[in-house]
Amino acid sequence: MSMAMHMMWPRDKSSVEGARIDRESALRIWRFAAPYRSLVAGFLFTVILGSVLGLVPPLLFGRIIDQAIPNQDRRLLGIFAAAIVGASLLAGVVGLFERYWSSRIGEGVIYDLRVALFDHVQKLPLAFFTRTQTGALTNRLNNDVIGAQRALTATLGTVVSNVITLVTTLIAMFVLEWRLTLLALILTPFFVLPYRRIGQIQQSITRESMDLNAKMNTTMTERFNVSGALLVKLFGRGGDELELFASRASRVRDIGVRSAIFTRGFMTMLALLGSIGTALVYGLGGLFAIDGSFSVGELAAMGLLVGRIYMPLTGLTNARIDVLTALVSFDRVFEVLDAPSPLVDAPDAVTVANPEGRIEFVDVSFRYPRSDEMIVPGLETPTSTESEVGQAPVLRDLSFTIEPGQLVAIVGPSGAGKTTITSLVPRLYDVTEGSVRFDGRDVRELTQESLRAAIGVVVQDPHLFHESIGDNLRYAKPDATAAELIKASKAAQIHDLIDGLPSGFDTVVGERGYRMSGGEKQRLSIARMLLKDPAVVILDEATSHLDSENEALVQDALAEALAGRTAVVIAHRLSTITQADQILVVEEGRLVEHGTHHELLTAGGLYADLYHLLVRGEPVG
């Protein structure tokens, strides 16, 4: 690694304050790199061989001066010259192998880390995502993974290369002339001390530049998505946003100029000190040569070798900070990999083979995890309010049974726990107490994949990926045929719209399906659910914000979707509630009433009050 690259590397001493290279972390990293151990060995071998080959030209150049030229030995001159060329060519070939192995290791580690992180994050409970900054999480999957790669390749290779180069060069110099070697070493503090000070300044510059770049990236991420862009336009704040972004970008520009000046100034100082060191070696060595105790060829070789010790010494000055800074990235990656994932399949979990759709809640109590239970350092900062809310039970001693094929409506005031109930069925969370049973088995005894395959969910604001309509539908069934897509879209009352589009099922829906209306997205999500063909359907206020025309179409689609299936519905609409086989009335996390519409209306309790509010057109939750 060149000195310029060293100056660009953010040696942030403060970021590794108190850090140490402990044996446990080193072993874990080495285990993670297990598939690449043979490549690491080859990589280190090429680094060592390249350092040794670098000694050949200066030593042979001295032989040319001392032996070939004075003796006018053209044959020996040709041999030495050919050997120098051969050593240089071989060093080039070794360098190619070094780069090949380095890239294989680095890119392989990046691949493994990213796949492991992606897989682990996908398995984390929903509470993790509700408290995690998406940008910070994706940063872990990108920048920190690359930093971890550097820990294995760039930093490791640089340290090993510098050590080998320094040791082999000093040995060769001591063999040639120990006094000149000591003179060269006496000059090393003049290289190291200024470098440490300028390195600290460069750290500060780099840290500020990274912070500003992160803020610019956050601004672009938030302002350039559909919702952010719409908000900026509606409030007419485009000029203000440009001014804010430009101020940060100008600061990054100024920092870049300042960094370039510091780097160039330091390189100039190094070159000057190197020239002084070489001049002193030539001066004292020249006196030795005049006295006859040192040959001219040895002097020339020493002059070439002395330049090989200053760069490695300077590079090794902050070797510990280099290594720790790189390993911090590994620690940050491991923090995510070590994030608790309580929602795991039991070792003896069974598969839901032929789901019937029977759901039982048995004495269920539930509280959402506290922020400090799901925290990953750097991804979110819990507040006392969040922790207090997390400790409060959302559901208390809830028991009911839904038979296969029943349509059950859940009603209650806002915040009563209706959505939480539907989240426990597909095991998005685990109950705190009691059990949720599916077809007679506790959901914790079933594999999550098969349980969720048996359950279809349609929410109020369905998510569509920035892909084609067909791709979004096939998310439920990747091998779905064109005929199946048409059948599902017809059943969901959306086929006429799709058929009328120029690109049909190949039409891209835009980010979050923004090119589609609310009713169209609802019907697409219903079509997607129909392709899944689940035994249980959960509707979480799927029609609450639709106009009457769209609601009629969605209701027709839902009638098709619910036929022959167990249905759990959170709804504001009277039609859904009154037609339910069973209505569960929830208040403050407790089941306060249950029965049919007529039974509950006659009872004159909370349901009757809520129903009368609905009749007057006032939403209740």
Contact yes or no for 529/476 (Cβ under 8 A): yes
**Torsion of Cα atoms, 134 then 139 then 142 then 143, to 10°:** 180
Q: Name which residue leads in pLDDT, 106 or 80.
A: 80
The whole-number pLDDT of residue 183 equals 80
List pLDDT tens digits, range 272-294: 777 777 788 888 888 888 888 88
Predicted confidence band of residue 390 (pLDDT cuts 50, 70, 90):
very low
In this structure, of 148-157, 251-260, 414-423, 530-539, the range with the lowest mean pLDDT score is 148-157
Mean pLDDT of 582-604: 91
| Mean pLDDT, residues 586-591 taken together | 91
pLDDT band at 366 (very low <50, low <70, confident <90, very high): very high
- Residue 375 falls in which region: left (phi positive, over 0), alpha (psi -120 to 50) or beta: beta
* Environment class of 71 (CB within 10 Å of its CB; exposed 0-12, middle 13-18, buried 19+): exposed
pLDDT band at 436 (very low <50, low <70, confident <90, very high): very high
Where b means 16+ CB within 10 Å and e means fewer, 129-146 reads eebbeeeebebbbeebbb
Q: Backbone phi, then psi, for 202, in 5-degree steps? A: -65, -35
User: What is the C-alpha separation between 428 and 431, in angstroms, rounded?
Assistant: 10
Alpha-carbon gap, residue 379 to 385, rounded angstroms: 18
Residue 376 confidence class, pLDDT cut points 50, 70, 90: low
| 119 pLDDT higher than 80 | yes
What span, in angstroms and rounded, lies between the C-alpha atoms of 416 and 580? Answer: 20
- Residue 540 three-state SS: strand
pLDDT-derived band at 375 (thresholds 50, 70, 90) equals low
Residue 4 binned pLDDT confidence (cut-offs 50, 70, 90): very low
Name the residue with tokens 């070697």.
181
Is 172 or 326 the better-scoring residue by pLDDT?
172
CB-based contact 14:319 (threshold 8 Å) = no
Residues 592 and 608: their CA atoms lie apart, in Å, by: 12
Per-residue pLDDT at 264 exceeds 90 = no
Distances (CA, A) of 21 to 157, 229, 324: 17, 46, 7
Helices (H), 19-153: 23-32, 37-53, 56-63, 74-123, 126-130, 134-139, 145-152
Mean pLDDT value across residues 301-323? 73
Residue 572, number of CB atoms within 10 A of its CB: 18
Q: Which amino acid is at 279?
A: A
The count of other CB atoms within 10 Å of the CB of residue 253 is 11
How high is the pLDDT of residue 320? 62
- The pLDDT confidence band at residue 583, using thresholds 50, 70 and 90, is very high
Is-contact 561 530, C-beta < 8 A?
Answer: yes
User: What token pair was written down for 89?
Assistant: 């060519």
Residue 271: the pLDDT is 73
Of 15, 18, 409, residue with least CA distance to 206: 15
* Portion of the chain with pLDDT greater than 70, in percent: 79
Residue 438: what pLDDT? 94
Can you tell me the distance from the alpha carbon of 508 to that of 239, in angstroms, rounded to the nearest whole number? 31
Q: Which domains does the chain have, with CATH numbers?
A: 3-337 (1.20.1560.10), 404-432+446-615 (3.40.50.300)
What letter would DSSP give residue 15?
Answer: G
pLDDT for 388: 43
pLDDT of residue 55: 87
Ranking 200-214, 473-487, 507-521 by mean pLDDT, the lowest is 200-214
HEC string of 374-421? HCCCCCCCCCHHHHHHHHCCCEEEEEEEECCCCEEEEECCCCCCHHHH
| 442-477 as b/e: b if 16+ CB within 10 A | bbbbbebebbbbbbbbbbbebebeeebbbbbbbebb
Q: pLDDT (tens digit, 9 = 90+) per residue, 75-97?
A: 888 998 999 999 999 999 998 98
Q: Does 3 score more than 50 pLDDT?
A: no
Task: Tell me: pLDDT of 363 over 90.
Answer: yes
Q: pLDDT tens digits for 318-354?
A: 666 666 666 777 777 887 888 777 788 888 999 988 8
Residue 591, pLDDT > 90, answer yes
CA dist 425 and 212 (Å) reads 44
Distance between CA 233 and CA 18 in Å, rounded?
A: 48
